[in-house]
Amino acid sequence: MPNTFIIVDTHEQVWKPLCRYCRLEKCKELGMKLERVRRKSKVHVPTSEVSSPAFPQSIRPTSTESVIKSPIQDSPSSSASRISDKKQFINVQPLEQKIKDILSQSPTSLTLAPGIRLTFLQQLCFHFPLFYDEVKSKQPVIVTTVFNRFRHFQFIQRWWLELAKLLMKCEQFAQLNFEDKWLLYKHAWLVFFKLERYFSSIQVFGTSYNDNRILYDDTTALDYSHPDLTVAEFETLEKREQWKNLMMPILEKYIKSIVNPMKALQISQFELIYMLAQVLWTSQCKI
């Protein structure tokens, strides 16, 4: 049982078990299909985040490629991108295949002593520091008002791969069949990415409610309270204003509903790990 809660199976038990993993396993035994997972309600988030649970629309190919204008010139030898006419073409298929290759690996067990088997949460706590060392902020952090989507995607590529490696180090996840691991990974990555970014931002910038600087990679942060906040690829004032009118209400909702409560609670790294475990094993679906 990949959690620290002890579930006693008695006739008198009337409360709902808190172990998400055990609940998921019981649902699967009763015939739940993970491929039919649906969100309980629609959440007003950016279109780029709703369109695909695995990859945002802005970087997900419509056929085989999608286009992102970017002033950053990536290496021409990169298998994931190429430059043409000042446009950045990003093919996410190689990255997706790398993630699937990681999830397809054989499970490995962590043995501390004969007869001792760690729970999922314990294994996650044990391996999380290695993951966090790869994605946490690197000093000095540069604060900017210009969001570069291509640079953000370069960071997300590393983040996706490190998350897949972290989960595969946990025996209970690694022992699932590939289809279930892939569906659970797609279900969890976006929610936990935001939680981890907000947590890391609080570690760097503190808990003031008036400070709305959020890390979008490991060396750069955006100041969401700055009036000149914009996107690097938008060359016209009209496009920048359209982006601000669309995104600012959503960003303000994130800050009010997630960031500020995290600041008030001053959550620890263990609590962040616990949230990952809850997100991973919790699915809303119709049987």
pLDDT band at 199 (very low <50, low <70, confident <90, very high): very high
Provide the pLDDT for residue 104.
94
- d(CA 42, CA 47) in angstroms, rounded, equals 12
Q: Give the H or E element holding residue 230.
A: strand 230-231
Provide the pLDDT for residue 256.
92
pLDDT band at 38 (very low <50, low <70, confident <90, very high): low
> Could you tell me if residue 76 is inside a domain?
no
Highest mean pLDDT among 57-61, 68-72, 283-287: 283-287
- d(CA 199, CA 269) in angstroms, rounded, equals 8
Q: What is the DSSP letter of 223?
A: E
For the cut 50, the answer to whether the pLDDT of residue 8 exceeds it is no
Sign (positive or negative) of CA dihedral 275, 14, 5, 280: negative
Full residue range of the structural domain in which residue 39 is found: 20-58+94-108+116-281
Cβ of 87: how many Cβ atoms within 10 Å? Answer: 12
For the cut 60, the answer to whether the pLDDT of residue 243 exceeds it is yes
Alpha helices in the chain, H assignment, sequence order: 20-29, 47-50, 93-103, 120-135, 149-168, 171-174, 178-205, 237-254, 260-265, 269-281
CATH code at position 37: 1.10.565
Provide the pLDDT for residue 245.
85
Share of the chain above pLDDT 70, in %: 71
> Could you tell me if residue 223 is inside a domain?
yes
Share of the chain above pLDDT 90, in %: 44
> Could you tell me if residue 80 is inside a domain?
no
> Could you tell me if residue 185 is inside a domain?
yes
Q: What are phi and psi of 130, to 5 degrees?
A: -65, -40
> Could you tell me if residue 124 is inside a domain?
yes
Mean pLDDT, range 124-133, rounded to an integer: 94
- Tally the domains of the chain: 1
- d(CA 128, CA 273) in angstroms, rounded, equals 8
> Could you tell me if residue 34 is inside a domain?
yes
> Could you tell me if residue 24 is inside a domain?
yes
Sign (positive or negative) of CA dihedral 101, 103, 108, 110: positive
Residues contacting 206, CB < 8 A, separation 6+: none
